[in-house]
Amino acid sequence: MNPYIAYCGLDCESCEARLATITDDDALRARVAALWSALNGAEITPEMIHCVGCRIDGVKTPYCEALCPIRQCALGRGVETCGACGEKESCAALGRITRNNPDALRRLT
């Protein structure tokens, strides 16, 4: 599977946090931080916007590194993505992503 497909099926290759990281674009980091802060009701600073991809070795945002329940579960289970998990159809955490992003579900199947 494409290594830029996250455990949940999102496409890290098109993620603005990753794009800001690989292009070292501080203006994009600031826009992503402002958007994510508003969406999550939490303060996210531009300094937190450093990520090369969920399944790629290297830097991650604090959420992706340590707080994402999907990533932590997949790492614990040793699966390549949630597509390889027998519980993917009933997983509430994964469902929060795939209900709003049918492309993510398609990438996992």
Q: Which pTM was predicted?
A: 0.88
Residue 90 within any structural domain of the chain: yes
107 neighbors 11 (Cβ within 8 angstroms): yes
Residue 67 within any structural domain of the chain: yes
Residue 36 within any structural domain of the chain: yes
**What is the 3-state secondary structure of 3-27?**
CCECCCCCEHHHCHHHHHHHHCCHH
Residue 30 within any structural domain of the chain: yes
Name the domain count of the chain: 1
Q: Each residue of 68-93: pLDDT tens digit?
A: 999 999 999 999 999 999 999 999 99
Residue 23 within any structural domain of the chain: yes
Look up the domain containing 32 and give its range.
Answer: 12-108
* Cβ within 8 Å of residue 78, ≥6 positions away: none
How far is it, in rounded angstroms, from Cα 56 to Cα 78?
15
Provide the sign of the torsion angle of the four alpha carbons 70, 19, 102, 55, taken in this order. negative
How far is it, in rounded angstroms, from Cα 66 to Cα 104?
21
Residue 37 within any structural domain of the chain: yes
Q: Each residue of 7-40: pLDDT tens digit?
A: 999 999 999 999 999 999 999 999 999 999 998 8
